[in-house]
Amino acid sequence: MSDLENLLDYRIAVDKTQEQYSPANNQRFVKISEREDRSDLTMSLCKIFWEKTFLQTWNDVFIDKGFFELSLFPMLVKELQPQTIIELGALNGGSAVWFADLLEIFKIKGSVYSVDVDLSLLDDKAKADSRIHWIEGDCHQISQVLPPDLLKTLPHPWLVLEDCHVNTIGICEYFHNNGLQSGDYLIVEDTNKLVPQYWGARWKDSPELDRIERKIDDLREWLKDREDEYLVDTHYLDMYGYNVSKNWNSVFKRV
Ligand SMILES: C[S@@+](CC[C@H](N)C(=O)[O-])C[C@H]1O[C@@H](n2cnc3c(N)ncnc32)[C@H](O)[C@@H]1O
C-alpha cells in the first residue's frame, strides 16, 4: 500500500468506527441494573498507570484524574456545554483550573464552583485563578456549603462531580432535591473498586478507602427507585473498554 492508500484506509476506518459507535446508533443510555460492576482494566495495568500518578499536572498544578478521564471529560464538556460545573473536592485545584480552561477553549460561558474542606491545599497558581469560585466547606453539610438559594441561581446544564469521597449518597440526594434537572450530568468519581484495592496496599486502615470501596454499592442502592431518572452514559464509560476509567457506571445523565 502506498502512503496515500494507507491514509485513505485509515480515514475509512475512522468513519466506520464513528458510524458504528455513534452515540445516536448505540443504546448509549442504560439503567444501572443493566450494567455490571466490573472493568476491562486489570490491576496489573493500574499498577503501571498509577505508579507515577502524582507527577501528573495541568498547567503545572497537580491534577488527580486518571488519563482516561483526562481524555473523556473534555468530550463530555464539549457535548454538554455546561453552564455550571460544580466540583466537590478541589485538592490542589488542578481539575478546577482544567475545567475552567475547557470552558474557555470551547467558548462556553459557564462557571466553575470548586469546594474543599481545606482550601489551604490549593496551589498558589490555582488560588489566583479568578474564573473559579473557590468555596471552603464540609460536604457532610452540603446544604450549608452550597445552599439551595445559591443553587437556584446557577444556570443549567450542570455538570456535578463528587470527588471528595464523603457523604456520597447525602450529596446525590441533596442535588437530586435541589436543582438537578433533565439533561444535567452527575459524576461520582472513583467507583472502580481497583482504586481502593490499589491504594489500600499503600495506606492500610484508611476510612476514606473504605468509603470509596462502598461507593458503587451505595450508589446502586440509592438508584434502586430512581434508575429511570439517572441513566448511565456508556459513551463516556466504555470508550476504551468496559468501564475503563476510575469510574464504574457512575457517569449519569438525569433524564
Ligand atoms: C481526590 S481529592 C480531589 C481531587 C481533585 N478533584 C482533582 O481531580 O485534582 C479529594 C479532596 O476532597 C477533600 N475533602 C475531603 N473531605 C472533605 C469534606 N468533608 N468536604 C469537602 N471536601 C473534602 C480533600 O481535602 C481532598 O482535597
6 versus 150: which is more confidently predicted? 150
Kindly indicate the confidence band of residue 208, based on its pLDDT and cuts at 50, 70 and 90: very high
The answer on pLDDT for 8 being more than 80 is yes
Ligand 1 in reach of 195 Cβ (< 6 A) = no
**Model confidence pTM above 0.85:** yes
Q: Where are the beta strands (DSSP E) in 163-244?
A: 185-188, 230-233
93 alpha carbon – ligand 1 mean position (Å): 10
Kindly indicate the confidence band of residue 202, based on its pLDDT and cuts at 50, 70 and 90: confident
Side chain identity, residue 9:
D
Q: CA dist 159 to 9, 55, 155, Å?
A: 38, 26, 11
Ligand 1 in reach of 166 Cβ (< 6 A) = yes
Ligand 1 in reach of 163 Cβ (< 6 A) = yes
Q: How many angstroms separate the CA atoms of 197 and 60, rounded?
A: 28
Q: What structural domains does the chain harbor?
A: 39-254 (3.40.50.150)
Q: What angle do CA 103, 74, 34 make, to 5 degrees?
A: 130
146-170 per-position pLDDT tens digit: 999 999 999 999 999 999 999 999 9
- Do the beta carbons of residue 97 and residue 61 sit within 8 Å? yes
Write down the mean pLDDT value for the chain.
95
Ligand 1 in reach of 164 Cβ (< 6 A) = yes
